[in-house]
Amino acid sequence: MLSGTAPTLFISDLHLCTSRPHITTLLLKFLSGTARGARALYVLGDLFEYWAGDDDLADPYHLEICNAFRALAESGTPVALIHGNRDFLLAEKFAHASGMAILNDPHLIELYGQRVLLSHGDLLCTDDVEYQKFRLQVRDTDWQQTFLSQPLAARKAQIEALRLRSESEKSHKAEAIMDVNADAVVKMLRRYDHPELLIHGHTHRPGQHVIEDNGRITTRWVLGDWYETGNYLRVSDTGCEAIILA
């Protein structure tokens, strides 16, 4: 259980890569500044644009990011991560290098007297049937073992091809399909006995939504992406606040 007066911070969908150095700079500043002294920092998926396997930790860029998170954890702020749809291959070596704890999706915690359910958010986008089939396939242990047995360069090439295909397919999908399904949200809330807060990312549609079901109220906070600038959700004993990083 996390409690106390220090705030707890949440970020998601950073899609870190060397082609957007301004976002990397924003993150490093955030980790060495704002996040220091927080009760905890949660990364709710898609930390990297893609992750081909923990044997890619030797890459200098990846090491820089891992070292920054480890420095935050060693300063006294625990850091936890939930896999996203781009970085589901992050594993034990990464967790050790970065000082992060990897959590299941969804994950229930208690903060400041409230129950808070955390998720990346892609599980809730059930109208995108083809994506859900793909998600089920790539989260399979046998599939992952087969994929990771290939050379790193081959894996990266395959992921890049999949990423480009995904971007092309998105342009032909209805906007509603790529957002959460209301029934899927309610089902998840019922499964966890209607927590007071649900926090997730994935949709890149930041906002606050109030859900009432059987007389129980949950506030759903959607985190924004870090494509143009950074942002985080600050949760404390006085409430929740979405903050844009300058």
Q: Read off the CATH number of the domain in which 89 is found.
A: 3.60.21.10
The number of folded domains in the chain is 1
Q: For residues 223 and 117, what is the distance between their CA atoms, to the nearest angstrom?
A: 13
By CB atoms closer than 10 A (0-12, 13-18, 19+), residue 161 is: exposed
Q: Is residue 2 part of a domain?
A: no
Burial of 193 (0-12, 13-18, 19+ CB in 10 A): exposed
Q: Please report, rounded to a whole number, the percentage of residues in the chain having pLDDT higher than 90.
A: 91
Residue 3 is assigned to a structural domain of this protein:
no
For 77, the domain range is: 8-244
- CB-CB contact of 50 with 13 (8 Å): no
What's residue 196's pLDDT? 98
pLDDT at 166: 76
Asked, for residue 194, whether it belongs to a domain, the answer is: yes
β-pair type (100-103, 107-111): unpaired
Average pLDDT value for the chain:
94
The verdict on residue 1 lying in a domain is no
What 3-state DSSP class applies to 3? Answer: coil
Asked whether residue 4 carries a pLDDT value surpassing 90, the answer given is no
Whether 186 is covered by a domain: the verdict is yes
Predicted confidence at residue 3, as pLDDT, reads: 42
Query: In the predicted model, what is the mean pLDDT of residues 120-135?
Result: 95
Contacts 24+ apart (CB under 8 A), 216-219: 216/189, 218/189, 218/194
Q: Amino acid identity, residue 210?
A: V
**pLDDT for res 2:** 42
Whether 232 is covered by a domain: the verdict is yes
- Percent of the chain at pLDDT > 70 equals 96
**What is d(CA 26, CA 246) in angstroms, rounded to the nearest whole number?**
8
**Residues 118 and 106: beta-carbon distance below 8 Å:** yes
In a domain, 230, yes or no: yes
Return the minimum-mean-pLDDT range out of 2-6, 168-172, 183-187, 193-197: 2-6
Q: What is the pLDDT, as a whole number, of residue 62?
A: 98
